[in-house]
Amino acid sequence: MGEMLHLRGNTLAKGDPVALPLTQSSMFHLPGSPEGFPNYGRVNNPTWEHLEHVLAHLEGAPCLAFPSGMAAISAALFATVKAGSRVLIPSDGYYVTRLLAEQFLAPLGITVEQRATAGFGDGGFAGFDVVFVESPSNPGLDMIDLAAVADDVRAAGGITIADNTTLTPLGQRPLDLGIDVVVASDTKAMGGHSDLLMGHVASRASEVMQSVADWRKVAGAIPGPHEAWLLHRGLETLDVRFERMCDTAGVLAERLAGHPAVKRIRYPGLSADPAHDLARAQTLRFGFLLSVTLESEEKAEKFINSCPLIRPATSFGGVHTSAERRARWGDAVDPGFVRLSVGCEPAEELWQAIAASLDGLT
């Protein structure tokens, strides 16, 4: 992915700025016929186009940028469903996707059904027009066999959308496994610095991308040029950050698994994890997210709030290690369940701080 850093650089003319210029403009100088020129900030923006060039390179497919992960998910769903469609979504994935489906798709005459990520293929896909998956799921970190689901859904005449937020295209390539559309929140590891919200849709199906582009233009769910610029900058270091975060998560997972305060741990990279075989088969890295279940809500809160190298915060994927108790948002998890997002701190310092906080719980 080193060439990602030079995607734009190799097109520069003498005297051009090396860093991407930020085009903060709603209007373009447009005398005469507008044909072939940027025309209006809801339709085109050169900063988005540079960002989408990098995103497309990462995904190996055409990409469109959105102002948040939910804007990308909304675009992918509204571009693929119609009244009467049957849609299948995970019951244990990112909860706002369920809210969107229940509050805004179901009232339009779309049938929304839910299924747990573990065993997602059981029951088949006959009669579903759109099957939406998230693997590994947030926060449970269960996985599904993306290639098998993609094949089965296609054979049944439906299309698949995969939320690839938790692993990024450097960790998992759903389109290469046969999934039709990838959506992601770039607010997480892609941006990586906890200073922006963004998202994207990627697909090799040109009709879907045309519809997603039309949705963005018509619904107006467009990214701000400054956010696009920040994400572009974040992506320049994605591979360095992601590698460090995954390496450290692997080290921490092994050690946490042996700590007496940890009742249960989930990390796809652990050989005893229920998702390990699937992770080995279909991911490039095991990711930077793990979960530990501590004895009680009180101990979990104390752990999260007392560790000097953990930011108690919702969201994940930033350079700062962060954690939260997901039950505080109503996720169907144990009250002592803590999602830990491993950042870019030096691994040994981070482990020392985490171990000291866990030791202090007794």
Give the bridge partners for 184, in sequence order: 200
Burial of 359 (0-12, 13-18, 19+ CB in 10 A): exposed
Closer CB to ligand PLP, residue 199 or residue 268?
Answer: 199
CB of 17 to ligand PLP, least distance (A): 29
Closer CB to ligand PLP, residue 149 or residue 262?
Answer: 149
133: Cα separation from own chain's centroid: 12
Closer CB to ligand PLP, residue 70 or residue 179?
Answer: 70
Under DSSP, the state recorded for 35 is T
Give the bridge partners for 304, in sequence order: none
CB of 167 to ligand PLP, least distance (A): 10
Closer CB to ligand PLP, residue 68 or residue 357?
Answer: 68
What distance in Å separates the CA atoms of residue 130 and residue 182, rounded to the nearest whole number?
A: 13
CB of 168 to ligand PLP, least distance (A): 11
Q: Give CA separation, 3 vs 10, 120, 151, 153, 271, in Å.
A: 9, 37, 32, 35, 33
Residue 27 is encoded by which pair of tokens? 């209007």
Q: Which residues form the interface with ligand PLP (CB under 6 A)?
A: 68-70, 94, 134, 138, 163, 165-166, 185, 187-188, 197, 199
Closer CB to ligand PLP, residue 322 or residue 357?
Answer: 322
Closer CB to ligand PLP, residue 134 or residue 180?
Answer: 134
CB of 358 to ligand PLP, least distance (A): 25
CB of 205 to ligand PLP, least distance (A): 21
CB of 330 to ligand PLP, least distance (A): 15
DSSP assignment of 29-97, as one string? ---S--TTS--BTTT--HHHHHHHHHHHHHHTS-EEEESSHHHHHHHHHHTT--TT-EEEEESSS-HHH
